[in-house]
Amino acid sequence: MFSVMGNCISCWKRHREPHKEITLLLVGIDNAGKTVAAKGLLGESIEGVAPTVGFSSSSMRYDKFDVTLHDLGGGKKIRAIWKNYLSEAYGLIYVVDSSDGERMQESKAVLKDLLQNPRISGKPVLVLANKQDVPGALDEIDVVDQLDLELLVNTYKCPCRVETCSASLGQGKKMDAALRAGFRWLLETIGANFDLLHKRVEHETALQREAEEQDKRERIARVKKAQEERAKAEGQNEEDCCS
Q: What is the pLDDT of residues 147-180, one digit of tens each?
A: 999 999 999 999 999 999 988 876 556 677 888 8
Residue 21's H or E segment, with its range, is: strand 20-27
Give me the numbers of helices (H) and strands (E) for the chain, helices first please. 7, 6
**CA dist., res. 83 & res. 220, Å (int):** 23
* pLDDT value at residue 2: 33
Q: Which residue has the higher pLDDT, 126 or 233?
A: 126
Taken in order 223, 225, 226, 232, the sign of the CA dihedral is positive
Helix (H, G, I), strand (E, B) or coil at 53: coil
**CA dist., res. 120 & res. 210, Å (int):** 19
**CA dist., res. 120 & res. 94, Å (int):** 12
Taken in order 216, 222, 227, 231, the sign of the CA dihedral is positive
The count of other CB atoms within 10 Å of the CB of residue 46 is: 17
The CATH-assigned architecture of domain 18-199 is 3-Layer(aba) Sandwich (3.40)
High-pLDDT (> 70) share of the chain, %: 84
100 confidence band (pLDDT: 50, 70, 90):
very high
Segment 175-186 shows an average pLDDT of: 89
Domain ranges in the chain are: 18-199
* pLDDT value at residue 40: 84
Segment 197-207 shows an average pLDDT of: 95
In terms of phi and psi (left: phi > 0; alpha: psi -120 to 50; beta: otherwise), the region of 232 is alpha
Taking 3-state DSSP, the helix, strand and coil percentages for the chain, each rounded to the nearest 5, stand at 55, 15, 30
Q: What is the pLDDT of residues 71-83, one digit of tens each?
A: 999 999 899 999 9
Report DSSP letters for 106-151, one per residue: HHHHHHHHHHTSTTTTTS-EEEEEE-TTSTT---HHHHHHHHTHHH
Which range is least confidently modeled, 66-80, 110-124, 186-200?
66-80
Q: What is the pLDDT of residues 34-93, one digit of tens each?
A: 988 888 888 777 665 555 566 789 999 988 999 999 999 999 989 999 999 999 999 999
